[in-house]
Amino acid sequence: MEKIPGIRGTKDILPNTIDQWHFLFDNFNKISNQFGYSELRTPIFEKTEVFHRSIGEQTDIVNKEMYTFTDKGGESITLRPEETAALVRSVIQNSLLHENNILRLWYFGPYFRYERPQKGRLRQFHQYGAELIGSPNPEADAESIQLAVALAKSVGITDYKLLLNSLGNDASRQKYRAELVNYLEQNKNSLSFESQNRMMTNPLRVLDSKDEGDIELLKNAPVILDSLDSDSITHFNLLTSILNDVGIGYEISNQLVRGLDYYSHSVFEFRSTMLGSQDSFGGGGRYDGLFTQLGGKETPAVGFAFGLERILLILEAAQKLPLFEKNVDFFVVIQNSEYLNFANKVMQILRNKGYSVISELSRRSFKAQMRDANKSNAKFACIIGESEFNNNKIAVKNLATSEQKEIPFNEITNLNL
């Protein structure tokens, strides 16, 4: 029979790397708790409408990248391409804001986008993210960024660029959009084909263009910060002053708009030079309009997501991944299959005491089993040979020092290593 490969752009997380994922999860769990955030898990699929209404019809995600299918009941379902929309759906549905006026939530899990796979870009990838819901104030934006910085630091990432911009409130954004479209229209013939299309559908995204000609042209485009009204400026100034006070470095980037429709006020992105062309390992911003788009009442919110494969790539390139050694306490060597019942009683006692225990299952020779024990990284071999079996005892050999002692069966419960 032919072998069946996994789906392009997906990766198995093998036993030799799973500890890296636990490392990320454990650290992020700890830091999230320090900031008073609770974990929330939503299903991996949602009604397609959740993403259509929130992310925006004219974004790459909705246009080209969603895994959408019709289920057997005829409903259009989508594998989640990001969390924020699904999480907001859940907060509304479960009335989580009835009991609290501020919600602090985090999530960790797989997301799905039909993108062209390359280094740091997968079709199933993982994100950690955090959302701070209920505050319109810039101190909430600052908290979100402070949490992101603390999370990165907790796993050893301190060398990156934090880009920051403000899209302002609705009124400022509309004003800017008109100015930008005006500028782009004047220069339409010099724009790339893709940007000419985007200019009509989602003009702010033209600022994201990677085309060299577009980049040159955009150098003289109107700047969004110049279009902000006084409320939006006050919001942005307080955010930057908090970041200054707590010593978080950032760079203001006029071009940063991020892909999704729902952002307003602050947007930010974390970039690393360790990643090659896919250099963003996280990003977020404020999304005050999203709740109403999903049928909730008007609720301000801000949040961000980290791409976890990219965080691991950075740590690997910087040689900052901790070494994870796995070793069991006991490797049980059983000289003769007639001793199996006795051996299993011994193993049960050891496991009940909390030790980790594995045994040889191939019934190989005593010598081969001892070799396996030495190779297994176990701390001790528990040897059940002929004399041990006949005398109702076990031999415990320290595999590092070769020191060996004998322990009668009824004293195993008192064993203290």
Smaller CB separation from ligand AMP, 163 or 399: 163
What's phi and psi for 74, nearest 5 deg?
A: 85, 10
Q: Measure the CA–CA gap between 368 and 169, rounded to whole angstroms.
A: 72
Site for ligand AMP in 248-287 (CB under 6 A): 259, 280-283
82 versus 360: smaller Cβ distance to ligand AMP: 82
Closest approach of Cβ 62 to ligand AMP, in Å?
Answer: 12
Spatial distance between the Cα atoms of 258 and 269, rounded to a whole number of angstroms: 8
Q: Which is nearer to ligand AMP, 261 or 309 (CB)?
A: 309
**H or E stretch at 207:** none
Kindly tell me which residue out of 53, 89, 104, 113 binds ligand AMP, with binding defined by CB under 6 A: 113
Q: 11 vs 353, which CB is nearer to ligand AMP?
A: 11
- The arrangement of strands across the sheet holding 393-398 comes to 357-359, 330-334, 380-384, 393-398, 404-408
Spatial separation of the C-alpha atoms in residues 65 and 73, rounded to whole Å:
23
Q: Least distance from C-beta 150 to ligand AMP, angstroms?
A: 18
Size of the site for ligand AMP (CB under 6 A): 17
Smallest distance from ligand AMP to CB 56, Å: 12
Tokens 């800017």 sit at which residue? 176
Contacting ligand AMP (CB under 6 A), which of 60, 82, 141, 261? Answer: 82
CB 65 within 8 A of CB 114: yes
Q: Which residue in the set 23, 106, 107, 125 belongs to the binding site for ligand AMP (CB under 6 A)?
A: 125
173 binds ligand AMP (CB under 6 A): no
Nearer to ligand AMP, 259 or 296 (CB): 259
Angle of CA points 298, 172, 227, to nearest 5°: 155
Nearer Cβ to ligand AMP, position 53 or 393? Answer: 53
Least Cβ distance, residue 125 to ligand AMP (angstroms) = 3
Distance of CA 62 to the CA centre of its chain: 21
Q: For residue 249, which of 167, 154, 161 has the smallest C-alpha distance?
A: 161
Which region among 163-171, 306-314, 332-340, 407-415 touches ligand AMP (by CB under 6 A)? 306-314
**Of 121, 161, 177, 353, which lies in the binding site for ligand AMP, with binding defined by CB under 6 A?**
121
Burial class (CB in 10 A: 0-12, 13-18, 19+), 230: exposed
Q: How far apart are CA 55 and CA 50, in angstroms?
A: 8
The answer for residues whose C-beta is within 8 angstroms of residue 266's C-beta and 6 or more apart is: 138, 141, 164, 165, 166, 167, 235, 236, 239, 285, 286, 302
CB of 323 to ligand AMP, least distance (A): 25
Check binding of 303 to ligand AMP (CB under 6 A): no
What's the one-letter identity of residue 374? N
Sheet hosting strand 301-307, strand order edge to edge = 38-39, 103-112, 124-133, 301-307, 280-286, 264-271, 161-166, 251-252
> Is 310 an interacting residue with respect to ligand AMP (CB under 6 A)?
yes
Q: Using the rule CB under 6 A, which residue among 19, 39, 49, 115 binds ligand AMP? A: 115
**Closer to ligand AMP at the Cβ: 127 or 299?**
127
Radius of gyration of the CA atoms of the chain, in A: 28
Q: In terms of CB distance, is 309 or 360 closer to ligand AMP? A: 309
Residue 7 has phi, psi (to 5 degrees) of -75, 140
Q: Which of 151, 218, 307, 378 binds ligand AMP (CB under 6 A)?
A: 307
- CB under 6 A: which stretch of 163-171, 196-204, 304-312, 332-340 binds ligand AMP? 304-312
- Is residue 353 close enough to count as binding ligand AMP by CB under 6 A? no
Q: How far is the CB of 148 from ligand AMP (least distance, A)?
A: 11
Query: Which residue has its beta carbon closest to ligand AMP?
Result: 307
Contact positions toward ligand AMP, by CB under 6 A? 82, 113, 115, 120-122, 125, 127, 259, 280-283, 305, 307, 309-310
